[in-house]
Structure 1
Amino acid sequence: MEAAGGAGGEAGCVGGRGGESPPPPPKTLVDWALEILDTADPDEKARLGDLAAAEWLRGAIPLPYDPARPPRPPPDRPARSDAVRLLPPSQMPKLGKGGSAQSRLALLHSLAHTESWAVDLSWDIVARFGARLRMPREFFDDFARVAQDEGRHFTVLSARLRELGSHYGALPAHDGLWDSATRTSHSLLARLAVEHCVHEARGLDVLPTTISRFRAGGDEQTAKLLEIIIYPEEITHCAAGVRWFRYLCLRSHNGDPTASSVPQDITQCSVLPRGGTSDINKVEEVEDGPEAKLAEPSNGHDKTVQQVEDELAQCKLVDIDDDAEAAVIRTFHSVVREYFRGPLKPPFNTEARKAAGFDPAWYEPLAVKEVERQAVE
């Protein structure tokens, strides 16, 4: 796929060149997702994603997909800018632990890179699976919000790099972030389990330590950005993975492969909450300088997790008996062992995982190698 796809996306939404009439904007959310995946520039990718999500959520995009025509398949690998030098994981320099300014810049660059790929990942799940599996409208709502969040995360991290005298692309970046997406491209169940449960949950495990490293290094600005904006929204992203993994398991069990709406016995709410502490508008200008500051969180990580957990409590399963939940968890174990290499790595952020709908029964058995588990049994 050529990087020119991104330029076409920009022309489609901003206007034509040389006096030509601009091509019509995408008609469905899946059309928008494909346009975003074909956009190479990371800033433009995030901008288009924010626009598409906002238009969808306010009802300006009428259809998630066109049922009268099969959608164009998404690219095997999204368009990416050549300005970011990608290296195999084995050749990536060590990030360090944030003890130096150089190490903190490397950590910040790595976070921005991860969020940029997360934008593609969120739109890919919409484009690849939404129409093919006739997913309900709530599925598109959730992942449009996730994609919008990920684009905002990239934007604020990229802006922070510039404030520190660097920029996204100044350092080499990990080229393995799309590998598991490729391995799960044929199965929504596998994609949800590995990308939106395992990887997203791993981010919850390590993010408090990352925040502490920036704070210990004297970069309170970045620490608060991660703590107030990114951390609570990442909990809801993991919750989306758990929610739709459950939904697919229960839909299959009920013998309804093309359900058009979320059954009331699966969830109590139509959309995931938008964690109130994560408002981007909490970034305010300092009166006496160009630096930005973030409003102080009341009680740090614990309050953030508790607030999101309280909001997500409205999305818990209802009228699902213990046997059905146990069957869902067994399916999760089976899918993760098939598509994720090796055991999960503790320690786990138990409270954040719980807020996302993850009880230890979901992930603790996966922290043991399969051969060790069979020996115990």
Structure 2
Amino acid sequence: MEAAGGAEPAEGAAGGREEPQPVSRTLVDSALEILDTADPDEKARLGDLAAAQWLRGEIPLPYDPAHPPRSPPDRPARSTEVRLLPPSRTPKLGKGGSAQSRLALLHSLAHTESWAVDLSWDIVARFGAQLRMPREFFDDFARVAQDEGRHFTVLSARLRELGSQYGALPAHDGLWDSAMRTSHSLLARLAVEHCVHEARGLDVLPTTISRFRAGGDEQTAKLLEDVIYPEEITHCAAGVRWFRYLCLRSCNSDPTASSIPQAIIAQCSELPRDGTINDNKIEVVGDGQTARFTQGSNGHDKTVQLVEDGMAQCKLSDFRDEDEAAVIHTFHSVVREYFRGPLKPPFNTEARKAAGFEPAWYEPLAVKEVEKQEV
């Protein structure tokens, strides 16, 4: 039957009416769901699922440029069963000489890993889309988040095996306090959380392992030694890698590197301005194209293809000595601004080196900077 004014166009025909395309679930959507989940076991389970789906390609987009994600919460949802105290009021853990002290150490480790789950998903949700980070950035921190969730799960299970549970003791909120101080800057977040706190974990873990072993708890010692310790090295490495990347990207006049202070950009050596750094150093291709993403006639598939075409393809390895010197100088400036006090030796030099974290990065920060006084 012919309608007034001509034939009604068929569904899906050229120039005709099309069904609205469904909004794709993205990795950032999953990160926000995890941050909104209070139960720590469920938080870890959802994180493991999201990371696995992303790494298998079942979540095709890191974020949907046609539907900007909401901002992550200032503080993630947390279980009310875990009583949080100021660091100054948190009971001392002891040195593992008694069963009670070892339980306190184990509980503290589980708490740190639970917070690390939130920190890893927060960095994805807070900075990934905002700074149009490469796909490898999302890969790295999805893996980190998955590891941290597994660490929490096995430590929490070990607590139960020993007749306790996560939440049985009070804990402090220091890690998230520093996360809030760096919530405006990915560069500062990477420096403080992933290059200072994560590296500090590498420094103290061997001693912690020895304390459990000396107390006769070989099972916990092996858990820390064989599972958690080697994976924590890769987490520190991710922080170092992406700190370097951001510094070099800012030197390349990248307009998305808004977290880099201009004074710090000026410290970097001059790099090519065509978006590509070759010779097996860093290659950035297509950066800036994300601003032109649209939800076109092919809907979801077209959006996926545009993200794949426009995301920066990042290859990180060695680069020039002068570039490394500029990055290290930037690291010193950022840590002195956002971390309270000097770094505490002794340092686990071997583990830090395995993470790409040479002494030149951190040794100058181990003493307070002394201002020169005019005579």
1:21-60 matches, within 5 Å, as 27-60=25-58
What is the match of residue 209 of structure 2? 211
SS in 2 for 1:370: coil
Aligned residues of 1:26 and 1:32 also touching (Cα < 8 A) = no
| Structure 1 residue runs without a partner (length 5+) | 1-23, 269-314
Equivalent position of 2:17 in the other structure: none
Shift of 1:316: 6.5
Q: For each residue in 1:47-91, what CA deviation from the matched residue of structure 2 results, as whole angstroms up to 9, or x when unmatched? A: 000000000000000100011122100000000000111111111
SS at match of 2:30: helix
Q: Aligned equivalents of 1:57 and 1:238: distance in 2?
A: 20
1:111 to 85, 109, 112: 109
For residue 247 of structure 1, the aligned residue among 245, 248, 251 is 245
Query: Is the Cα contact below 8 Å between 1:247 and 1:266 reproduced in 2?
Result: no
Rounded Cα–Cα distance in structure 2 between residues aligned with 1:359 and 1:53: 30
Q: From the superposition, tell whether residues 262 and 96 of structure 1 become closer, same or farther in structure 2 (CA, over 3 Å).
A: farther
Residue 317 of structure 1 aligns with an amino acid whose one-letter code is: S
Matched, 1:96 2:91: no
Q: Which residue of 1 aligns with 2:367?
A: 368
Quick one: distance in 2 between partners of 1:88 and 1:266?
44
Q: Which residue of 2 aligns with 1:14?
A: none
2:355 match: 356
Corresponding letter in the other structure for 2:328: I
Q: CA deviation at 1:177?
A: 2.1
Contact 2:24 2:64 in 1 (8 A): no
What are the Cα deviations for residues 225-249 of structure 1, in whole angstroms up to 9, with x where unaligned?
A: 0000000000000000000000000
For 2:346, the equivalent position in structure 1 comes to 347
Q: Which amino acid in the other structure matches residue 49 of structure 2?
A: L
What residue is the counterpart of 1:66 in the other structure?
64
Give, in angstroms, the shift of residue 256 of structure 1: 2.5
CA, structure 1 residues 262+79, in 2 after alignment: closer, same or farther (shift >3 Å)? farther
Q: 1:225 maps to which residue?
A: 223
Q: Which position in structure 2 is the counterpart of 1:291?
A: none
The equivalent residue for 1:175 is 173
Q: Structure 1 residue 176: deviation in Å?
A: 2.1
CA distance in 1, matches of 2:81, 2:341: 33
CA distance in structure 2 between the partners assigned to 1:356 and 1:267 by the alignment: 18
Distance 1:89 1:207, change over 3 A: same
Tell whether 2:185 aligns with 1:187. Answer: yes
3-state secondary structure, aligned to 2:72: coil
Residue in structure 2 matched with residue 324 of structure 1 by the alignment: 323
Q: Which moved more, 1:26-35 or 1:141-150?
A: 26-35
Determine if contact 1:251/1:257 at 8 Å carries over to the other structure.
Answer: no
**Letter of the 1:124 counterpart:** D
Q: Which amino acid counterpart does residue 108 of structure 1 have in structure 2?
A: L
Q: Whole-Å Cα distance in 1 between the matches of residues 178 and 190 of structure 2?
A: 11
Instruction: Give the CA deviation at 1:257.
Output: 3.8
SS at match of 2:174: coil
The letter of the residue matching 1:338 is E
Structure 1 segments of 4+ aligned residues over 3 angstroms from their partners: 261-268
Matching residue within 181, 195, 202 for 1:197? 195
Residue in structure 2 matched with residue 165 of structure 1 by the alignment: 163
Distance in 1 separating the partners of 2:24 and 2:143: 18
| Aligned mates of 2:317, 2:349 — CA distance in 1 | 19
The answer to whether the 8 Å contact 2:32/2:125 transfers is yes
Corresponding residue number in structure 2 for 1:133? 131
Counterpart Cα distance in 2 of 1:250 and 1:107: 39
2:268 alignment counterpart: none
2:254 corresponds in structure 1 to 256
1:154 to 132, 141, 152: 152
TM-score of the aligned structures, taking structure 1 as reference length: 0.78
Q: Which moved more, 1:248-257 or 1:224-233?
A: 248-257
Letter in 1 for 2:317: L
Aligned partner of 2:3 in structure 1 is: none
Q: Does the CA contact (< 8 Å) of 1:333 and 1:362 recur in 2?
A: yes
- The residue identity in structure 1 corresponding to 2:181 is R
CA contact (8 A) 1:39 1:80 kept: yes
**How many Å apart are 1:371 and its aligned residue?**
1.7
Gapped regions of structure 2 (runs ≥ 5) = 1-21, 258-274, 284-314
Check whether the contact 2:53–2:59 (CA below 8 A) recurs between aligned residues.
yes
Distance 2:24 2:39 in 1: 19
Confirm or deny: 8 A CA contact 1:194 1:340 kept in the other structure: yes
Tell me the residue number matched to 2:233: 235
Distance in 2 (alpha carbons) for counterparts of 1:145 and 1:49: 10
CA-based RMSD? 1.9
In 2, Cα distance between equivalents of 1:106 and 1:177: 18
- Please say which structure displays the higher CA radius of gyration: 2
Describe the shift of the 1:186–1:204 C-alpha distance in structure 2 as closer, same or farther (beyond 3 A).
same
Q: How many residues align?
A: 303
1:332 counterpart letter in structure 2: F
More helix by share: 1
TM-score of the pair, normalised by structure 2: 0.78
| Corresponding letter in the other structure for 1:354 | K
CA contact (8 A) 1:138 1:262 kept: no
